Amino acid sequence: MKVRVLGCSGAIAKDCKTTSFLVDADVLIDAGTGVGDLTLTEMCAINHVFLTHSHLDHVAALPLMVDAVASQRTAPLKIYALAGTIAALKAHIFNNVIWPDFSVIPTVAAPFISFHEITVGETTLITGKTVEALPAVHTVPAVGYAVSAGGPCWVFTGDTERNPAFWQRLEQLDVAMLVIETAFSNREKDLARRSLHLSPVALAEELEGINPHKQFPIFITHTKPFETELIMDEIAEFDGALPAGRHVPHDIRWLKAGQAFEV
C-alpha cells in the first residue's frame, strides 16, 4: 500500500497545501487543497473519499475535483463520512448556492457523487484495503482513520485534542506509522485547547499513552505555516516539559507534502 502526502499544512501559503492523502491510486483521505496537485488522470482514478470532518481545509478541493472529472466518470464518486459531516456538506457546500448538488446531478438515479455514512469504530473494505474510523475530539463531528492492506496500519488522527479513546484503540492495532496533528505552538496552547487542536506540550502528554514496547515513526501534520519551525523545535525539546524521569521514546518527524510511504 502506498500513501502519498498531497497536503499536510494547517493553512495555505506558497508550497503549503491543506490536508489530503492519496492511498494507492483510488482512495483519498480528506480533500484539502493538496488535491489540486493531482493530474486529471489521477483524479479520475479516485473512486472513494474518506473525510475526517467538515472543516474547509479538509474538504475545500472536493467540489472542484468532482467538477473537473465528472464528465469522465461512469459511476458516482463515493464519499464516506460521519452523519454530521455529510449533513454539513449538503447544507453548506453541495446546496446549489455555494456549489451544485452533485448528489442529484445529472440525475437522481445516476449522480456524480454519493454519500455513505460511517460511524466511529466501523471498518470499510475498499479494493483490498480496510479503512477503520477512529475516535477524534474536535469542534465538529470528526474521526481519524487507520488504513491497512492486510499488514500494519497507516494511522491518521485527523484534527483532535486530547483523545483517550484513540490511544486505547491504537494499543490494539499493528501500527506502521502515525500521522498526528499539532496545529499550534506552546505560546498558543490555550488557543489550541479552545479550538480542540494539539500543541507540543499536549502532544507530549498524549504520546505518553503509547506502550513503550510499540515503536513506529510519528509524523507531525497540520502545523500553521508561520509556526512550523517553532512547533518542531518545541517538539524536539518537549521531553524537558515532562515530569522528571518521563520522556517520549519515539522517532518524531515533520510531515511534508510530496512525501510517499510504502506501508
**Can you tell me the mean pLDDT for 156-168?**
96
Q: Mind listing the pLDDT tens digit for each residue in 65-108?
A: 999 999 999 999 999 999 999 999 999 999 999 999 999 999 99
Q: Mind listing the pLDDT tens digit for each residue in 117-141?
A: 999 999 999 989 999 999 999 999 9
CA distances from 1 to 34, 79, 109, 141, 261 (A): 20, 20, 33, 28, 8
Quote the pTM value.
0.95
Proportion of the chain above pLDDT 90, given as a percent: 86
Cα separation, 208 vs 220, whole angstroms: 16
pLDDT at 249 over 60: no
**Can you tell me the mean pLDDT for 155-172?**
96
Residue ranges of domains in the chain, CATH in brackets: 2-255 (3.60.15.10)
| Cβ burial 74-90 (10 Å sphere, 16+ → b, else e) | eebbbbbbbeebbebbe
DSSP type of residue 255: -
**Can you tell me the mean pLDDT for 5-28?**
96
Bridge partner list, 136: none
